[in-house]
């Protein structure tokens, strides 16, 4: 579609011409809902690009000993992850029949090939050594900050912000799985086996295992000293 006159500063800066040319033209859509499907995925890739930018920056700040700035960056990551999760509700408004039509156009394409999500799976391992370096610089162990969260408030808050990132990655996976059930059912085979089983497998993963293990350690010791714990365990 041609537009009148030269590009405005807004159009030049946001690069609206290129951006709005990245979706299928109306005449090529396989069904009405395909535009939404394409836009939700494109926006998700942009949010994941920003997430990577922020998490890696938080890692750099941790290495520099700047916990408050790392924390501010991770706060932004949490906000982006909320948007990533919430935007999945748009696809709840799609009829399964429309998804089938779109699926034909997707060919063998799969969300597993998402470059943004592949990075989400990698960056926890990349940022964890930076957090360990911060602990080492402050001469504190992970166990100590969980034993005395108020005495080590800054480090405790960074640890919990990393745990939020982990929890929200898995929260997104759970929400996406509900979307999959809603659109294609629980039993439909995907390109690589039963989709629901494949996706449920990913939910078992812990991105920052040490942040989960430290909870086991704390409660393990508490259980040993608790009057009922030694016999029955906490929930016995």
Q: Is 114 a residue that touches ligand HEM (CB under 6 A)?
A: yes
Using CA atoms, how far apart are residues 32 and 24, in angstroms rounded to an integer? 11
Q: Is 105 a residue that touches ligand HEM (CB under 6 A)?
A: no
Place of tokens 């990551």: 77
Would you state the structure tokens that stand for residue 51, as one six-digit string?
């997430």
Of 133 and 184, nearer to ligand HEM (C-beta) is: 184
For the chain, how many helices (H) and strands (E)?
A: 11, 2
Indicate the residue whose CB is closest to ligand HEM.
111
Candidates 10-18, 159-167, 172-180, 220-228 — which segment interacts with ligand HEM by CB under 6 A?
Answer: 172-180
Using CA atoms, how far apart are residues 79 and 67, in angstroms rounded to an integer? 19
Q: Least CB distance from residue 164 to ligand HEM, whole Å?
A: 18
Q: Is 40 a residue that touches ligand HEM (CB under 6 A)?
A: yes
- H/E/C letters for each residue in 54-83? HHHHHHHHHHCCCHHHHHHHHHHHHHHHHH
**Helix ranges, 87-208 (H):** 96-106, 115-137, 142-147, 153-184, 195-202
For ligand HEM, the binding residues in 47-66 under the rule CB under 6 A are: none
Q: Binding string to ligand HEM for residues 173 to 202, with x set by CB under 6 A, is what?
A: x--x--xx--xx-----xx---x--xx--x
Of 144 and 170, nearer to ligand HEM (C-beta) is: 170
Give the binding site for ligand HEM (CB under 6 A): 40-41, 44, 88, 91, 99, 110-112, 114, 117, 173, 176, 179-180, 183-184, 190-191, 195, 198-199, 202
């Amino acid at each position: 579609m041609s537009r009148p006159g030269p590009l405005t500063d807004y159009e030049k800066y946001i690069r609206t011409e290129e951006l709005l040319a990245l979706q299928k033209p109306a005449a090529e859509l396989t069904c009405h809902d395909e535009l939404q499907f394409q836009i939700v995925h494109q926006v998700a890739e942009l949010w994941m690009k920003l997430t990577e930018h922020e998490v890696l920056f938080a890692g750099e700040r941790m290495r520099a000993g700047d916990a408050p700035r790392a924390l501010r960056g991770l706060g932004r990551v949490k906000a982006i992850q909320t948007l990533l999760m919430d935007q999945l509700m748009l696809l709840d408004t799609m009829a399964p029949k429309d998804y089938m039509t779109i699926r034909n156009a997707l060919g063998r394409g799969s969300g597993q090939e998402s470059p943004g999500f592949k990075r989400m799976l990698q960056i926890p391992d990349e940022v964890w050594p930076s957090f360990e370096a911060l602990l080492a610089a402050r001469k504190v162990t992970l166990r100590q900050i969980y034993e005395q969260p108020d005495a080590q408030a800054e480090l405790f808050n960074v640890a919990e912000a990393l745990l939020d990132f982990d929890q929200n990655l898995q929260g997104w996976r759970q929400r996406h799985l509900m979307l999959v059930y809603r659109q294609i059912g629980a039993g439909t085979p995907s390109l690589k086996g039963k989709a629901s089983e494949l996706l449920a497998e990913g939910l078992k993963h812990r991105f920052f295992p040490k942040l989960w293990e430290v909870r086991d350690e704390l409660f393990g010791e508490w259980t040993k000293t608790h009057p009922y714990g030694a016999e029955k365990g906490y929930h016995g």
